[in-house]
Amino acid sequence: MPLSAVNPACYQQLLDAKVTRVSTLLAPYSAPAPVVYPSAPTGFRMRAEFRMWHEADELNYVMFRRDDPATPVSIDDFPIGCDRIRQLMPLLRAALKADDILRRKLFQVEFLSTLAGETLVTLVYHRKLQPDWEAAAARLADELQVAVVGRSRKQKIVLGASFVCESLRIEGRTYCYRQYEQAFTQPNAGVNIAMLSWACERAAAAPGNLLELYCGNGNFTLPLAAHFDQVIATELAKASVRAARENLDANGIDNVRIIRLSAQEVAQAMRGEREFRRLAELPRPLGSYDLRTLLVDPPRAGLDAHTLEMASEFEAIMYISCNPQTLADNLLLLGQTHEIEHLALFDQFPYTGHMECGVFLRRR
């Protein structure tokens, strides 16, 4: 997204246009009028990354336009970034510019922050990092009161921690999430709280126990666990599985089992087509958990044919989509067995064409 597109005065107008477009796209599936959850017009992003551009004595944050990927655009202000990132950007740039050790062959800077201001800075280099870099980075971390991670090819140096701890208050309870650098997290914390609250409202009327696919670090898993006797959550990425288990332990949640399986593998296991040793981690067979509600939060490609077939057998489906078009494609099949009871639109990415959707379907 070019920062030239950021225009807070026009935020509502831009949001209304997106809502109209997505509502029209989903209208053929008898979707009800959506409940719309707007974003704050500025200061909403909790993470950001920039290329660092070296030119003579200058050092600048830059981004590149899609229509001109060869020309760097200097970033002097980042209005969509949270307050802590905006505060740190000039301080970090000045510190890096003044230190030849930290500056040399610096390629990229990444920020990861929380609502409380806890921040991790990742510095990515095109050179091997030596002990003198570690000493300089330690001084930088102390000066700016941040954690620092240094990365280069086959090298990672952690000063402080490689994660931040985000706290989100949902339904009167505060949930703590360990969020690792260079791992996926929801970028818009305010809208994420709205998404989690909406999902919990839907879960209050959902039958049986919950099967969750694509659970990531447990973003939905933690608050939804309060609404079910048992939750089976699956994720393929090892780092995300580790984070999800750590987050469950940190929040004292003991009715969730995390299994490292892909969505397609879960579908095969549910149909009895394959046996997976990883399912042996469950204290009892998968089929004994009375799994009647399904939560999916797939990548932009949506659900594959096997997962769609499995989903059609559930009494209730909560579908969180980051791509309305693939959601519409998937509803072609799901609409044959289910009807949409609730539709929500979450503006995770203001000033872009992207819209996050939440759909709750119940079997006819």
Cα–Cα distance list, 144 to 59, 89, 93, 138, 293 (Å): 18, 11, 11, 10, 46
The tens place of each residue's pLDDT in the chain, 364 residues long, gives 667 789 999 999 999 999 999 999 999 999 999 999 999 999 999 999 999 999 999 999 999 988 888 899 999 999 999 999 999 999 999 999 999 999 999 999 999 999 999 999 999 999 999 999 999 999 999 999 999 999 999 999 999 999 999 999 999 999 999 999 999 899 999 999 999 999 999 999 999 999 999 999 999 999 999 999 999 999 999 989 999 999 999 999 999 999 998 888 888 888 778 788 888 888 888 888 999 999 999 999 999 998 999 999 999 999 999 999 999 999 999 999 999 999 999 999 999 999 999 999 999 9
Give SS3 for 274: coil
356 is catalytic: yes
Domain boundaries, given as residue ranges, for the chain = 3-41+188-363, 47-164
Give first-to-last CA distance, the chain, whole Å.
Answer: 41
Structural fold of domain 3-41+188-363: Rossmann fold (3.40.50)
User: For residue 268, with 0-12 CB atoms within 10 Å meaning exposed, 13-18 middle and 19 or more buried, which class applies?
Assistant: middle
10 is catalytic: no
47-164 matches 3-41+188-363 in CATH topology: no
- Of the listed 166, 235, 265, 356, which one is catalytic? 356
Residue 304 and residue 116: Cα distance in Å, rounded? 38
- Of the listed 82, 215, 322, 357, which one is catalytic? 322
* Helix residue spans in 129-188 (DSSP H): 131-144
- The two three-digit tokens of residue 127, written as one number: 């050179």
User: For residue 332, with 0-12 CB atoms within 10 Å meaning exposed, 13-18 middle and 19 or more buried, which class applies?
Assistant: exposed
Domain 47-164 sits in CATH at: 2.40.50.1070
List the 231-234 sheet strands across, edge first: 35-37, 338-346, 356-363, 316-321, 291-296, 209-213, 231-234, 256-259
In sequence order, the β-bridge partners of residue 151 are 124, 156
